[in-house]
Structure formats: structure tokens, C-alpha cells
Structure 1
Amino acid sequence: MLTGKQKRFLRAEANQLKPIFQVGKDGVNENMIEQIGDALEKRELLKVSILQNCLEDKHTVAEKLAEGTGAEIAQIIGNNIVLYRESEENKQLLLP
């Protein structure tokens, strides 16, 4: 579980990131969870964009992604979700 200070730090780090995944009308599937998990292992912090045609609520999508990948939700802003998971091999971010 992330503290408030850690979430603020992660939000600041994610500010300049561009979303690298998009959730569309099909919603969250196993393939997407696997790919996001791999990306989190390499990057630790990433943004996921939710498209207008997505039938699921953004909070539901965020919970499914976080649960499936073992990540923490750092922020949900607009149609973007910021996910964080500490990397086993590629540690880049040092949380306060």
C-alpha cells in the first residue's frame, strides 16, 4: 500500500509520461494484463488511457488492471490511470 507522500511523488513522475496502453470497447482481457505486467517490470510506472467507447467504468478498469498485474493505482485522472509496481530487476524509482 502506498502512502500519500509516495503517491504524490509518483503522480509528479508520471506527469510527463504518455499513455502506452489503451482500453477500448472490449475492456480488460488477459492478454492486456500480461502485456501491462511486462511493461511494469521494465518501467515501474506507466499510464493507461481509457477510450471513449469503453463500456466499463474507469474505476472498475483500474481495479482489474491493478489486481491482475499486482500493481498499485497511483492516480486516476480524467480517462488516464497511473499504475506503479516495483520492479524485481530494473529498479529505477526510489520512493520517499
Structure 2
Amino acid sequence: MLKGKQKRFLRAKAHHLAPIFQVGKGGVNENMVAQIDDVLKTRELIKISILQNCDFDKNEIARDLSKGARAELVQVIGNTIVLYKESKENKEIVLPS
């Protein structure tokens, strides 16, 4: 579980990132969760965009993605989700304590 200070740090790091996944009207599926999990192993911090035609609630999508990829939900702002997962092999981000 991330502390407030750590979430603020990750939000600042994620500000300049571009979303690399998009959730459309199909919603969240197993393939998408597996791909997000793979990307998180190398990048640690990613943004996911929710498209206008998505019929699902953005908070439910964020919860499903974070639970499926076993990642920490950093932020849901507008139609953008920020996820963080500490990488074992490619550790680049050092969180403040």
C-alpha cells in the first residue's frame, strides 16, 4: 500500500508520461491485463487512457486493472489512470519513505 507522500511522488513522475494503453467500449479483458502486467515489469509506472465510447465506470476499470495486474492504483484523473508496480529486474523508481 502506498503512502500519500509516495503517491504524490509517483503522480509527479507520471505527469510527463503519455498513455500507452486505451480502454474502449469492450472494457477490460484478460489479454489487456496480461499486457499491462508485462509492461509494468519493465516500466514500473504507466498511464492508461479511457476512451469516450467506454460504457464502464472509470473507477471500476481502474480497480479491475490494478487488481488483475497486482499493481498499485496511483491516480484516476479525468479519463486517465496511473498504475505503479515495483519491478524486480528493472528497478528505476526509488520511492520516498
**TM-score, scaled to structure 1:** 0.99
Q: Could you tell me which residue of structure 2 aligns to residue 18 of structure 1?
A: 18
Counterparts of 1:45-84 in structure 2, within 5 Å, are 45-84=45-84
Q: State the number of aligned residues.
A: 96
What is the letter of the counterpart of residue 85 of structure 1?
A: K
Runs of 4+ in 1 over 3 A off after TM superposition: none
Distance apart, 1:88 and its partner CA: 1.1
Q: Is it true that 1:4 corresponds to 2:19 in the alignment?
A: no
Q: Could you tell me which residue of structure 2 aligns to residue 89 of structure 1?
A: 89
RMSD over aligned CA atoms reads: 0.3
How far apart, in 1, do the equivalents of 2:53 and 2:47 lie?
A: 18
**TM-score, scaled to structure 2:** 0.98
Partner deviation per Cα, 1:38-77 (whole Å, 9 max, x = no partner): 0000000000000001111000000000000000110111
How far apart, in 2, do the equivalents of 1:90 and 1:32 lie?
A: 21
How far apart, in 1, do the equivalents of 2:2 and 2:81 lie?
A: 15
Q: Which structure 1 residue ranges, 5 or more long, are not aligned?
A: none
Identity of aligned residues (%): 65
Three-state SS of the structure 1 residue aligned to 2:27 is coil
Q: Which structure 2 residue ranges, 5 or more long, are not aligned?
A: none
